[in-house]
Structure 1
């Protein structure tokens, strides 16, 4: 051992002084760079710790399962950590599943936020559906939200049914539906349709306008098939029963709960007016035909008068030829010879 140490010492003593200084300088620079890096990393960690400690502690106390690393990641991915933490805290306090595997995890909230969705609206809708025992998971709620539908309003409409006026005066400008019974009497009807949201058909389902159009068409056709307006006035529920039996809420985002006739007014006697208009039109046609026949008769009369005048002219010409024929006969001696023969 002493011999080996003596050999190494001898080797070191033989190295140039400049090489030793270069090695020591390089080592010092590396140690300094490492120290600066660690100091910078420590400052960054302290900065993020001080900035997001309140949110992390809030999530920790609420058992929301949000790590400090997730908060730092949100800072670099431009996700608002306040919204995500608030959503996780509300979900945890409402008793929802916030596990990282199959629950409302932080990653899923971040993805929905980056996709342009309304995270708080989705969480409010899920909590409301959970309280009302309506099946609605995060994937379905986020899909509805990204499709442009108000998922919270849909859940609230499922809990508290919505009343739609038919027709909707704000959209069509009409306050009543006009229908005519088979006896020609106009009935002006105003109905109210009670609907609730069909969450399963909310994506791709038709909107309120389709419900109003279908109900209006069904009411008009049902009244049109009634034999008399008295039948409709006596039993207005016959119209609603027929309309409900048609399944007008198929392929729509709503389920029709009831259709109620709010008001029925008797309008004009359209049948009598149409008959009067038809009779007047027939009279005009008859007058036109009579006038046409009268004109034809007048034309024929004028034609006959022209023929009489023509015949008279021919007669006058014939009478004018008689003296000329007699004179020619005298000159020829035909008249004289005839007279002598008779004598």
Structure 2
């Protein structure tokens, strides 16, 4: 009985050992690689495990490249994986480039991948050109009419400039700048509507794909719409601004005139006050003259008669003026 238990324990231990061994050493992957024509040793796979490299991420792309007739050193694949690259995408890109007769060395493919670009997509775009549609670009012709233009840009990836070349955003920005320049130099918006291909020709002549990761094949104007009358709006705004300036200046002159009038009224009031003050002193001066003998009683009465006669004449004159105004 004890020997049977011991035998069971030994068998279980062996099974556990073999399970751990085969989980650490990918024997199944080694067998698949061997029958696929990829010569790789078990110790190489063990070394990948020790270097924390997933063997399937290296072996399966290598099987794929070998079947496609592309010989790649396994150390290079492992180095690219350790650098943070996508080995499977790089191998797919190399196969696609080979089928399309595009020269793409392994080093360039890995450099493109590590630069953050999808190297497989780049090869596909190089074979099958891509269409980039710009948003509506607003431009104003010389006659002040706004023209809304949308363009479709057909581009092909330039493998040699993928590393360090500008992306789609730069292409869209440059095409938009070319549209604005072309429309802005047109005499009127009708010329743009009649010949929209002029925009395409002018943009293509500028060589807008310089320094980018693409080669522009064609630029087609997809849509042209007439927008607002910017010139009339600007003139209206300018006239409104001029009117407000004129109103402000007129208000300033009116305020100055009112201030001047108030100043003159204050001056008149001051003069009248002085006259009233002087007239108030006349009786006192007459009294002093009578007291000192400088003025006789007859002289005083003669003066009173003159004042009364003057007052009567002024009253008659005012009555005559009233009658004239009524007539």
Question: TM-score range, shorter-chain basis?
Answer: 0.7 to 0.9
Tell me what 2:280 maps to: 320
Q: CA deviation at 1:313?
A: 2.4
Q: 2:34 aligns with which of 57, 77, 86?
A: 57
The yes-or-no answer on 1:95 pairing with 2:51 is no
Distance in 2 of aligned mates of 1:333 and 1:48 = 150
SS at match of 1:334: coil
Asked if structure 1 preserves the Cα contact closer than 8 Å seen for 2:130 and 2:155, the reply is yes
The 1:181–1:50 alpha-carbon spacing in structure 2 relative to 1, beyond 3 Å, is closer
Q: 1:269 aligns with which of 212, 218, 229?
A: 229
The yes-or-no answer on 1:152 pairing with 2:120 is yes
Q: 1:217 aligns with which of 137, 155, 177?
A: 177
Distance in 1 of aligned mates of 2:66 and 2:276 = 128
Tell me what 1:329 maps to: 289
Q: CA deviation at 1:274?
A: 1.5
Tell me what 2:152 maps to: 192
Distance in 2 of aligned mates of 1:159 and 1:298 = 83
Asked if structure 1 preserves the Cα contact closer than 8 Å seen for 2:30 and 2:41, the reply is no
How many residue pairs end up in the alignment?
277
Listed as ranges, the matches of 1:126-165 within 5 Å are 126-165=94-133
Asked if structure 1 preserves the Cα contact closer than 8 Å seen for 2:141 and 2:184, the reply is yes
Asked if structure 2 preserves the Cα contact closer than 8 Å seen for 1:55 and 1:85, the reply is no
Q: CA deviation at 1:156?
A: 0.3
SS at match of 1:149: coil
Q: CA deviation at 1:318?
A: 2.5
The 1:65–1:325 alpha-carbon spacing in structure 2 relative to 1, beyond 3 Å, is same
TM-score by length of 2: 0.75
**Unaligned runs of at least 5 residues, structure 2:** 1-20, 300-327
Superposed CA offset, 1:270-307 (max 9, x none): 11112112212211221222222222222222222222
Asked if structure 2 preserves the Cα contact closer than 8 Å seen for 1:185 and 1:269, the reply is yes
TM-score by length of 1: 0.71
The yes-or-no answer on 1:253 pairing with 2:213 is yes
Asked if structure 1 preserves the Cα contact closer than 8 Å seen for 2:33 and 2:63, the reply is no
- Once superposed, what is the RMSD of the aligned Cα atoms? 2.8
Q: CA deviation at 1:266?
A: 0.4
Superposed CA offset, 1:3-52 (max 9, x none): xxxxxxxxxxxxxxxxxxxxxxxxxxxxxxxxxxxxxxxxx9xx979646
The 1:123–1:330 alpha-carbon spacing in structure 2 relative to 1, beyond 3 Å, is same
Distance in 2 of aligned mates of 1:194 and 1:286 = 55
Distance in 1 of aligned mates of 2:26 and 2:246 = 100
**Unaligned runs of at least 5 residues, structure 1:** 1-43, 99-103, 168-175
SS at match of 1:133: coil
